[in-house]
Structure 1
Amino acid sequence: MSRPIDLARNQIIRLAAPHTLLGISGGADSMALAIAASQLLRDTRFGVVIVDHGLQAGSDRVAQHAASQCAELGFTQVQIKTVSTSGDEASARTARYAAFEQALSESGAQRLLLAHTKDDQAEQVLLGILRGSGTRTLAGIPPIRGRYARPLLELTRADTESICQRAGVDYWEDPSNTDTAYRRNHIRHKVLPFLREQLGGQLTESLARTARLAAADAEALEAWAHQAWEQSRGTQGINLQVLQSFPPAIGSRVLRLAAAEAGARNLSSERTSALCALAGVGTNKSRSAGPVQLDGKISAFRRSSVIVFTTTR
């Protein structure tokens, strides 16, 4: 069986570009990423980006310590980006990725690696189940999305801690990660331990495997949906006769693609269901009279044998 550091290093080799940035927080997962990448500095150009969200007292010291650790590991391009947030998890994520995008643009790097692990993947799958989401959400965290890649998805949190300990690198433990008022932390500290106790110790691996299988299914369905969209779209709108010849799983995806192209944002499952009722896509083939109002000031209408998306004022 491969050692965690070997697995991490091999996955970094597979996913890194000639010029790659590492998103580092100072925690065990990201420091393990830095340790593994530092062993590849001879062949790959790596830079380090540390985002200080300013959410806690002393966050600047944590960022500076992580920067010093990365410099000691041999990284010569280390930058700290301080961002402003509204104090909640969603705004912190938005600010973090904005900082990453800026760093990618400034450096000319082709890829940025993040340190999500198999445990994060298991938590993400459970979150998707609790939301009642579809195949794409159950697919969890993608190994690659655009310029972002996650080489540690086959490692557990225990693996990353082991990598740090063996390398003699200390890591920061974010105190907010123990606050079970956050749903993800509640799943991490309450739900998953209970399920492991009741169902066995392979739960994390099983949930991660579910994500891999769901991801493969989602990719196939999305590819089919794009083909169906090309077949059903016309100059007047989406042809209902063609659209209704596809299974509901494909028809609903076609409607989402068409809505997104029209400018609709944040299409919820409820709005997707309304579009399907408007188009007669589904098991009962019942139709609503419409129109369906969508975010982004977009409306969907049924006009004879087509679905048309228009901008509302």
Structure 2
Amino acid sequence: MGLLVLLHRFWRGPVVVAHVEHGIRGGDSLEDARFVQAMALKLNYPSVVVSVDVPRQRRRGESLEEAARRLRYEALEKVRQDWLASWVLLAHQADDQAETVLFHLCRGTGLRGLIGIPSLRPPFARPLMAFSGSELRVFLEREGFSWVEDGTNSDSRYARNRIRNEVLPLMRRTLNARVDEHLAALAREAAELAVRMEERSRALLGELRSPFPGALRSWLWEKAKRLSPFERCEALRAEALSLGWPSLDRGRTESLAGLVGKGGRWTFQWKKDLQVLCGQRWITWTSGRFPTFPTRKIPSGRGLYQGPFWTLSWENASGAFPLLSPLGDRAAEETKGKIPWWLREGWPTIVQGSTMIWCPFFGGEAELAAEPSSGLALRLQWSIEGRSRLRNELQTF
């Protein structure tokens, strides 16, 4: 209510009051929504109440708090668009900032976690971040307005509520009465430093990235291993942010950075079907299952086949019908170090009998050839995501 009353006092532009009812607290939640509507009416503002069912709309692996936050922001953004508004003003204040920074510290975080709640991230802004909850309550009492408390705030089963109701009060009493101010100041300094770190991280990602088939992102391992552990952690956080992936805690980030430094063959499960893979010269970010395709004959005449991330066209002028087949476990010595293990079920090869006679590589070449006795007369044209076409001709009679 503090934000609404402040706007009424000092802002003369149009305002739409939006309230998201989460469907968690039953009748109490509906009462809060009615209170907001009544306050908006009293101040002569239009209001919108959006009801969401957080328990039902929660995604697999998503906590109730995460789901509520996601749905709340989605609902507020839709209201903004419906009303052609430029900004969404949120009522977070200094107490929320202190709780968030302390929560991130306890969970394990990097520099970005110390920023806590950003004051400005368009189209969302938080103009009350300089005020504590007690200051806002005094202001409301002086102005003659009441407010309601969310009943779940007193439920210390939730980690944030334990920090709010138990940890911070203990710190204020026994350590420093101004702990909230110091945590907020730390968040501001972290935000300023993070801007510089983000510039450095963008430069690092530009050096590390290399387009790779079937990958959301990919790095060259040789470059990644040369980074310091700190730089690897920062680059990993920046890459996850660029993909919209959930952040990892400090421990898991450091574990992944250690794997990146060692190289080899490994899979790191980020969350659910999100994973980071390493093999040969590449580190890739992927989502979902590894690509594959079915084995099929290459008949005489011309044809084209669309694979998971490649296209192969052929002209078969012989009577032999070789097979287009996934590389799989066939990887010969010639393919080692050139095709990472997670792509082998989706990587094209041409097989005649038990012999692999053709296999394309990343470098723009294709190796292996038909035996003179094979009777093949085969022209191939192969293209891969984001790469130029590779032409290969096998002609033996």
TM-score scaled by length of structure 2:
0.63
Amino acid at match of 1:252: C
Amino acid at match of 1:70: A
Give the Cα separation in 1 of the matches to 2:180 and 2:71. Answer: 29
Superposed CA deviations along residues 225-254 of structure 1, whole A, max 9, x for unmatched, are 011111232345423444344443222232
Amino acid at match of 1:72: K
Q: Match for residue 38 of structure 1?
A: 8
Offset at 1:138?
1.6
SS in 1 for 2:236: helix
Offset at 1:267?
5.0
Amino acid at match of 1:145: R
SS in 2 for 1:39: helix
Give the Cα separation in 2 of the matches to 1:72 and 1:297. Answer: 48
Matched, 1:121 2:97: yes
| Matched ranges for 1:58-207 at <5 A | 58-75=28-45, 77-86=46-55, 88-207=64-183
CA contact under 8 A between 1:125 and 1:139: conserved in structure 2? Answer: yes
Q: With CA pairs under 8 Å and 6+ residues apart, which has the higher RCO, 1 or 2? A: 1
SS in 1 for 2:277: strand
SS in 2 for 1:234: coil
CA contact under 8 A between 1:50 and 1:80: conserved in structure 2? Answer: yes
Give the Cα separation in 2 of the matches to 1:264 and 1:69. Answer: 37
Q: Match for residue 334 of structure 2?
A: none
Q: Match for residue 230 of structure 2?
A: 249
SS in 2 for 1:94: helix
| Cα 1:70/1:194, change in 2 over 3 Å | same
Give the Cα separation in 2 of the matches to 1:120 and 1:265. Answer: 24
CA contact under 8 A between 1:264 and 1:297: conserved in structure 2? Answer: no
Offset at 1:279?
2.6
Amino acid at match of 1:60: L
Amino acid at match of 1:47: V
| Matched ranges for 1:248-267 at <5 A | 248-258=229-239, 265-266=245-246
Offset at 1:154?
0.5
Once structures 1 and 2 are overlaid, which stretch shifts more, 51-60 or 290-299? 290-299
Q: Match for residue 49 of structure 1?
A: 18
| Cα 1:215/1:264, change in 2 over 3 Å | closer
Q: Which has the higher strand share?
A: 2
SS in 1 for 2:76: helix
SS in 2 for 1:155: coil
CA contact under 8 A between 1:278 and 1:289: conserved in structure 2? Answer: no
CA contact under 8 A between 1:224 and 1:250: conserved in structure 2? Answer: no
SS in 1 for 2:27: coil
| Cα 1:299/1:138, change in 2 over 3 Å | closer
Amino acid at match of 1:149: A
CA contact under 8 A between 1:225 and 1:251: conserved in structure 2? Answer: no
| Cα 1:309/1:130, change in 2 over 3 Å | closer
SS in 2 for 1:45: coil
Q: Which has the higher helix share?
A: 1
| Cα 1:231/1:117, change in 2 over 3 Å | same
Amino acid at match of 1:266: P
Offset at 1:122?
0.8
Give the Cα separation in 1 of the matches to 2:278 and 2:223. Answer: 17
| Cα 1:255/1:157, change in 2 over 3 Å | closer
| Cα 1:100/1:179, change in 2 over 3 Å | same
Superposed CA deviations along residues 192-227 of structure 1, whole A, max 9, x for unmatched, are 111111123111111111111122222221221011
SS in 2 for 1:124: helix
Offset at 1:36?
0.8
Once structures 1 and 2 are overlaid, which stretch shifts more, 201-210 or 288-297? 288-297
* Structure whose CA Rg is larger: 2
Amino acid at match of 2:246: N
| CA RMSD after TM alignment | 2.5
CA contact under 8 A between 1:38 and 1:74: conserved in structure 2? Answer: no
Give the Cα separation in 1 of the matches to 2:2 and 2:247. Answer: 37
Give the Cα separation in 2 of the matches to 1:219 and 1:92. Answer: 29
Offset at 1:259?
5.5
SS in 2 for 1:170: coil
| Cα 1:32/1:297, change in 2 over 3 Å | closer
Give the Cα separation in 1 of the matches to 2:270 and 2:175. Answer: 42
Q: How many residues align?
A: 274
Give the Cα separation in 1 of the matches to 2:159 and 2:49. Answer: 29
